[in-house]
Chain A
Amino acid sequence: ETGVTQTPRHLVMGMTNKKSLKCEQHLGHNAMYWYKQSAKKPLELMFVYSLEERVENNSVPSRFSPECPNSSHLFLHLHTLQPEDSALYLCASSPDPYQPQHFGDGTRLSIL
């Protein structure tokens, strides 16, 4: 598998659970992103990492916690989520923040 890989593809969790979404890229890119895509709404940028440092935090609730241990991996740690957090979470990467982004298939998250 080349490009941007996201796991799991689907996740169902209760509001009190703790889970993590994983994103991996082996494109040699230095920037990685998390987006949220809710029904009937545009893609919303959540976080941007460049060279493993967070450069953008788009007023995202603290129940979403990103982690970028190296330039190839990006995590989104989830805890105490709300039903309105049910959405498709997309990861993307690019050589730098000014180059076109390559997207993963996304993780479909459902909060019970």
Chain B
Amino acid sequence: AQRVTQPEKLLSVFKGAPVELKCNYSYSGSPELFWYVQYSRQRLQLLLRHISRESIKGFTADLNKGETSFHLKKPFAQEEDSAMYYCALRIQGGKLIFGQGTELSVKP
């Protein structure tokens, strides 16, 4: 069955510390992975997608098919990074399957 797992509901770090939000997926086909972010009082928006292989707001994510993971990383967290982060898997037909989300809290 297709599934996206984000094991951490809440991740709290201090400003300037490295941050890694974990995402694991289960899918027998060719996966396409995304990270979406929702800042306080804002709508859910796309942060990055694995096929772009780009860095957005200092965040990167590498698809590891061997470990079926797509962890989101940033070397130095900023207070404005505090938000809900959702990992999503696109499967055949364009359907998106979301993880449960991880709340990132960056403390000053």
Contacts and interface: CB of A to CB of B under 8 A. Distances in A.
**Chains A and B bind each other:** yes
Contact of A101 (B4, B46, B93, B99): B46
Interface residues of A, number: 23
Contacts of B101: 42
B94 A31 contact: yes
B45 A103 contact: yes
A42 B49 contact: no
Interface stretch (A10-18, A20-28, A64-72, A92-100): A92-100
Nearest to B3: A42
Interface in A30-83: 31, 40-43, 45, 48, 50, 55-56
Sorting the interface of chain B by its residue count into under 10, 10 to 19, 20 to 34 or 35 or more gives 10 to 19
A101 B96 contact: yes
Contacts of A45: 95-97
B43 A56 contact: no
A102 B44 CA distance: 8
Interface of B: 4, 34, 36, 43-46, 49, 86, 90, 93-101
10 tightest A-B CB contacts, nearest first: A97-B94, A103-B44, A43-B98, A42-B98, A100-B46, A42-B100, A105-B43, A98-B94, A103-B43, A42-B99
Interface of A: 3-4, 31, 40-43, 45, 48, 50, 55-56, 90, 96-98, 100-106
14 contacts: A3-B43, A31-B94, A41-B100, A42-B86, A42-B97, A43-B98, A55-B93, A98-B94, A100-B34, A100-B46, A101-B46, A101-B96, A103-B43, A106-B43
